[in-house]
Every structure is written in C-alpha cells, then in structure tokens.
C-alpha cells in the first residue's frame, strides 16, 4: 500500500469520513488500509493476522458501519470476542465511529441481566458484539436469531481458542447462513486457527501485517494496587517523588477526566484535560500548552487522545485500567520512544488483578508489581530537589559580576549581617528554610493510605483462582498426580492447592491468585489446547465441558469462588 493512502481512498462513505475527522483520525493504520477496501469492494471472506495494538477493531468496524442497512431492524452482523471487557470496548468503538449513522449495536455478555439484553434485542439491533457463552445462551433460548446475518467477525481468534471456546464457536457458526461473509482476526496462526480457517472460510483472502518491534521497548512498565479512594493520593506521591514528570494520564470516562483535573488543579499541579465534549479549538489550545510544557500533565480519554503524537514523554499513567490489551499497547507506546527511556504506571484495584493479567498475557508485555512510595520517601526526594535548586541559585548568584548584581549582593550581605547579630547561622538558615519550604515539606499534606497488602511492598494476593484441568478420572488422574503435574512445572507449596475436584473428564483446583497466571502460562503448548486454563463461570453457557456435569449439584463445578 502507498504511504499516501487515506480513509477516503479506502472507499468509506462521507458520513463515516466526517465521523473520523471529528475524532481526529488523520490516516489509516497499515491493517486498516489493507482490510477496509477488501471488505467494502469484494465479496470474499477474510483472514487477518495482525498483532494487538494495530487498530484492527476499526478495520472491521468502519466498513461494517458503511454496509449495514439501517432500515432493516434485524441482526445483520455479529462480532465474537473472548471477554466481556473486549466486547464492551468493541461496542464503544462502534458507537464512537458511527457518527450520524443510526446503527444500533448491543454488547451481550455474562454477568449482565439476560432480561435487559432481551429487551434491547426485541427493539431491534443491527450488530451484536458478544462472548460465546452468552451468545449461545440467547440462541438456545431463541432470543437471538443469526439465520439472516450477512457478516460474522471472530476477534482475537487465537485467544478465543486458547481459552477453550472452539466448540462454542463451532456451535454458533452452525446457526448462521452459508451465504454470510466471515472475517477472522488473529495475532498468531496456531494449527487450531488453520483448521478453523479451512473449515469455515470460503474463497478467502489472507492479509498478514508484519510484526514490528513495539515502540515502547524502552518503557519500564509497573503497576500499583490501591483502593479506588486512594488512587489520587498514590498518584500525587508519584508526581512529587519524580524529579521531572511530563506525561499523559488516561481515564475511562469524560467525568473521570473532569474530576481528576479539578482535584489536581486544586492541589496546584500544572495540568490540562481533553475529552470528547470539548471543541476542536479547545483541545488544540490544551495541546499547544502541553507541547510547550506550560502544562506537564495531560489527562485524556482514549478517544480524545487518538492521533496525538507528542514525543519525549517521561510517563504514561493508566489512572483507569484500559478495557483491553489493544488500548493498553496504544497508551503505553506513547513513551519510551526514539531511544529514550520512559515509565508506564498502571493503577489497579484489588478486583482488577485478573483483568491486568489478561492484558499482560495477550499484549506480551512485562508489567511488574511495585510499591507506592512512603511519605518520608517523597519528602526526601523533594528536599533533594530543593537542595539542588539552592546550589544552582548560589552558583548563579555569585557568578554574575555586573554592576546590578554587585549592588544586590551588597544589599543581601548587609541584611545577612543584621540577621546574624543575635542569632546563630544554623537557626537563621533553619528559619528561612521553614519559611520557604514549610508548605511543600509538610507531611500532613499527604494522608495515609488505607491498610491493605501491597502498599508497604509486602503484597500477598488474597483469594484463590479456580483452574480447569482437561483431564479426569478416565485419564487416571488423582489429586496426588495433579499436584505433582503442577509442582513439576511451578514452585507451588502443596498446602496452597485447595478444593481439588477430580471428575470423570476434567478436574478443578484452587490456587493463589498470584500463582494462577504462572501455572496457566507454564502449561501452554504451541498449536495445542492448553492442559490447564482459568475456569469459566456460568456465563459460558453450554461450554465444551458442560455436558460432563450432569448429575452434579447444579452449576457447582463451574462456579468461580468469590475473592
């Protein structure tokens, strides 16, 4: 593709182009430039291999928006995603990209009321974005009909299959017409994906976007676990301990942006904010102040920050955890560029730990746990900076030898002698430092964080993660053999593996949260379904192993414990 490719060259409608212009999208990413024309100008199926963070959601969303018949109130397209977080994000992307088009989309996922989703479906929906379990549940209850759809999109296909959704996907596809067009997106190409492509894609085109080294390779990525009410306090400690902070802060909603902006302004920080409710002129004014470093903290939503390219950022702050791995990569990639180092900091609440681990796994990023600076550490860092500033001022003060500087020095020298007549130099200096820096170095300007593991560096994950093992009694598995399988690969204390359940065809075990991800990762095998995965809740619907549970207490084997 030519470097001069534009959204207009891709063949998008005027209303869609207007929506993109309002959002500040200037030109398509490589995957968008390749995919959009194929979907719009051909009748073929499509397999796209592109890494996370390349803009593939818009690559299928934009042409679908153009091709949907808004006069027809039936479901015309379905997008399957592996998680409810991604389903919500894709739905939000459709909503923000549709502009003036009266297209109705609906995310359906486990954990939300079926009745609420049913009411929306009855009113008429053009595009459904859902997780396999909940989509199957609606199909089985005949509340969702896919017999007339024109487009079937499988997003994050490799992640979907690694999570054990292959049978669910096959079942859903059986309810769709052969005449539909299928678009499959995947970051990798394991054998399971090849099989799916050969079986379900007809006369398809394959687009592979070459994997490029991530721009944020020099970015240190860390996370802090804090309660929601402590985020501001923790963030201010980060701002105050850094010798220089020039970064972007991402919030999930416009209200979050406004709230954080007001609170930081109230504390005296040089801060600006942008979001979708601001005019283009207002946003550009804030950009200019940020580029000139008149403000050093820019708070934004993901949508408002699209298309912004400001170099030399020292930090990116995920004040709110992004909805999906793609958004995380977009955010973090804004620092650590052009050979410079940078820091990406993510704040999570205790309930968001599993979501962060999912983002880390899919994005292939190394996000390390860190501890929030103590108040005394922040004050010591401030003192160190003030001492440096004093030294620099003294050098400048005594270095100047012009007549005006000499007169000033004589005046200050006389004043100094008067102050020292009946006071010791130490007391005078102490009083002056207190007068100048007392407010900045007042410990009471910081408040203690709520007591929780991790704020003092002693993070111990509470609660357990439920793991699913694709072996059972018929495979000769016993509790002792399961324990040995796990401990041979991961150093897990035997006493920390609880509630082992060996059923006929599969098994379950509870392990500590902080070890679950390591166990799951260690049992992954390229091109094969993993032996151990995170157990799925009831939202899976009729999953690939649900038939094995007959005769057991209703729902018990599949229900994750609350943490």
The residue out of 185, 208, 231 marking a domain boundary is 208
Lowest-confidence pick of 75-79, 305-309, 414-418: 305-309
The verdict on 27 and 110 lying in the same domain is yes
What is the spatial distance between Cα 90 and Cα 102, in angstroms, rounded to a whole number?
17
Lowest-confidence pick of 34-38, 153-157, 335-339, 500-504: 335-339
The verdict on 242 and 368 lying in the same domain is yes
Residue 509, domain CATH: 3.30.70.330
| Average pLDDT over every residue of 197-217 | 76
Q: What is the pLDDT of residue 110?
A: 85
Give whole-number Cα distances, 245 to 248, 283, 497, 541, in Å.
Answer: 10, 21, 43, 48
The verdict on 162 and 18 lying in the same domain is yes
The verdict on 184 and 203 lying in the same domain is yes
Asked whether residue 8 is assigned to any structural domain, the reply reads: no
The verdict on 29 and 158 lying in the same domain is yes
| Average pLDDT over every residue of 427-446 | 84
Indicate whether 305 pLDDT > 80.
no
Asked whether residue 458 is assigned to any structural domain, the reply reads: no
Indicate whether 500 pLDDT > 90.
no
The verdict on 242 and 367 lying in the same domain is yes
Query: Domain range spanning residue 409?
Result: 386-445
Task: Give φ, ψ of 181 to 5 degrees.
Answer: -100, 140
Q: What is the pLDDT of residue 488?
A: 83
Q: Which residues contact 501 (CB under 8 A, 6 or more apart)?
A: 507, 508, 509, 557
Which tops the pLDDT comparison, 338 or 155? 155
The verdict on 418 and 340 lying in the same domain is no
What is the spatial distance between Cα 167 and Cα 540, in angstroms, rounded to a whole number?
11
Helices (H), 108-190: 114-123, 132-140, 157-162, 166-173
For the sheet containing 532-534, what is the strand order?
498-502, 507-512, 464-469, 532-534
Q: What is the pLDDT of residue 241?
A: 93
What is the spatial distance between Cα 312 and Cα 323, in angstroms, rounded to a whole number?
25
CB atoms within 10 A of CB 136: 24
Asked whether residue 3 is assigned to any structural domain, the reply reads: no
Strand segments (E) across 412-563:
464-469, 498-502, 507-512, 532-534
Do 333 and 305 form a contact (C-beta atoms < 8 A)?
A: no
The verdict on 247 and 126 lying in the same domain is no
Asked whether residue 2 is assigned to any structural domain, the reply reads: no
Asked whether residue 213 is assigned to any structural domain, the reply reads: no
Q: What is the pLDDT of residue 195?
A: 83
Asked whether residue 100 is assigned to any structural domain, the reply reads: yes
Residue 364, domain CATH: 3.40.50.300
On whether the pTM is more than 0.75, the answer is no
Q: Which residues contact 224 (CB under 8 A, 6 or more apart)?
A: 234, 345, 346, 347, 348, 370, 371, 372, 454
What is the spatial distance between Cα 332 and Cα 510, in angstroms, rounded to a whole number?
33
Scored b (16 or more CB within 10 A) or e, 229-251 reads ebbbbbbbbbbbbbeebbbbbbb
The residue behind tokens 């801060």 is 271
Q: What is the pLDDT of residue 538?
A: 35
Asked whether residue 331 is assigned to any structural domain, the reply reads: yes
Which tops the pLDDT comparison, 479 or 307? 479
Q: What is the pLDDT of residue 24?
A: 65
What is the spatial distance between Cα 357 and Cα 367, in angstroms, rounded to a whole number?
9
Q: Look at strands 297-300 and 271-274 and give their pairing.
A: parallel
Question: Which two tokens mark 329?
Answer: 């990569």
What is the spatial distance between Cα 485 and Cα 511, in angstroms, rounded to a whole number?
14
The residue out of 341, 372, 403 marking a domain boundary is 372
- Whose CA is closest to 295, among 237, 247, 231, 234? 247
The verdict on 69 and 157 lying in the same domain is yes
Question: Which two tokens mark 78?
Answer: 């379905």
Give whole-number Cα distances, 313 to 46, 282, 328, 342, in Å.
Answer: 38, 22, 16, 7
Question: What angle is formed at CA 379 by the lines to CA 320 and CA 456, rounded to 5 degrees?
Answer: 55
Lowest-confidence pick of 263-277, 297-311, 316-330: 297-311
The residue out of 324, 340, 372 marking a domain boundary is 372
The verdict on 497 and 363 lying in the same domain is no
The verdict on 72 and 115 lying in the same domain is yes
Domain tally, the chain: 4
Quote the percentage of the chain above a pLDDT of 90. 33
The verdict on 178 and 33 lying in the same domain is yes
Which tops the pLDDT comparison, 53 or 509? 509
What is the spatial distance between Cα 295 and Cα 247, in angstroms, rounded to a whole number?
10
Asked whether residue 1 is assigned to any structural domain, the reply reads: no
């Amino acid at each position: 593709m030519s470097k001069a490719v534009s959204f207009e060259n891709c063949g998008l409608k005027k209303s869609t182009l207007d929506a993109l212009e309002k959002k500040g999208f200037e030109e398509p990413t490589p995957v968008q430039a390749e995919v959009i024309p194929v979907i719009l100008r051909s009748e073929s199926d499509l397999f796209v291999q592109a890494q996370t963070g390349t803009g593939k959601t818009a690559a299928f969303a934009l042409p679908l928006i153009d091709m949907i018949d808004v006069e027809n109130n039936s479901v015309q397209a379905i997008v399957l995603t592996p998680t409810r977080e991604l389903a919500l994000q894709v739905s939000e992307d459709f909503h923000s990209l549709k502009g003036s088009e009266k297209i109705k989309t609906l995310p359906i996922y486990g954990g939300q009321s079926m009745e609420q989703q049913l009411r929306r479906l009855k009113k008429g929906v053009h595009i459904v974005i859902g997780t396999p379990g909940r989509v199957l549940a609606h199909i089985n209850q005949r509340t969702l009909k896919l017999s007339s759809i024109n487009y079937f999109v499988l997003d994050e296909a490799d992640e979907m299959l690694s999570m054990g959704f292959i049978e669910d996907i096959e079942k859903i596809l059986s309810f769709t017409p052969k005449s539909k067009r299928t678009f499959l997106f995947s970051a990798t190409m394991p054998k399971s994906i090849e099989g799916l492509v050969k079986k379900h894609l007809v006369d398809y085109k394959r687009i592979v976007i070459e994997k490029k080294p991530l721009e944020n390779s020099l970015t240190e990525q860390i996370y802090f676990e804090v309660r929601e009410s402590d985020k501001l306090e923790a963030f201010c400690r980060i701002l105050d301990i850094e010798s220089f902070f020039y970064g972007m802060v991402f919030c999930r909603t416009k209200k979050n942006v406004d709230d954080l902006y007001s609170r930081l302004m109230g504390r005296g920080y040089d801060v600006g904010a942008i979001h979708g409710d601001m005019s283009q002129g207002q946003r550009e004014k804030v950009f200019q102040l940020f580029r000139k470093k008149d403000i050093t903290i820019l708070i934004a939503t993901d949508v408002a920050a699209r298309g912004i390219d400001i170099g030399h950022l020292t930090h990116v702050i995920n004040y709110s955890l992004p909805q999906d791995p793609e958004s995380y990569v977009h955010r973090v990639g804004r620092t650590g560029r052009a050979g410079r180092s940078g820091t990406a900091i993510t704040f999570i609440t205790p309930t968001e730990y599993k979501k962060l681990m999912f983002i880390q796994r899919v994005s292939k990023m190394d996000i390390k746990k860190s501890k929030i600076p103590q108040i005394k550490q922040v004050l010591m860092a401030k003192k160190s900076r003030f001492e440096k500033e004093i030294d620099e001022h003294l050098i400048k003060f005594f270095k100047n030898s012009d007549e005006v500087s000499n007169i000033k020095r004589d005046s200050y020298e006389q004043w100094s002698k008067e102050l020292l007549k009946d006071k010791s130099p130490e007391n005078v200096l102490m009083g002056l430092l207190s007068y100048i820096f007392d407010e900045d170095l007042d410990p009471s300007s910081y408040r203690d964080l709520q007591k929780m593991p991790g704020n003092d560096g002693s993070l111990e994950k509470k609660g357990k993660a439920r793991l699913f093992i694709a072996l059972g009694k018929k495979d000769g598995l016993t509790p002792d053999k399961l324990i040995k399988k796990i401990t041979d690969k991961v150093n897990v204390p035997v006493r920390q593996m609880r509630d082992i359940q060996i059923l006929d065809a599969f098994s379950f075990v509870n392990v500590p949260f902080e070890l679950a991800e390591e166990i799951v990762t260690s049992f992954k095998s390229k091109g094969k379904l993993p032996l151990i995965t995170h157990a799925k809740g009831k939202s899976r619907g009729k999953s690939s192993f649900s038939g094995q549970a007959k005769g057991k207490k209703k729902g018990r084997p599949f229900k994750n414990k609350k943490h």
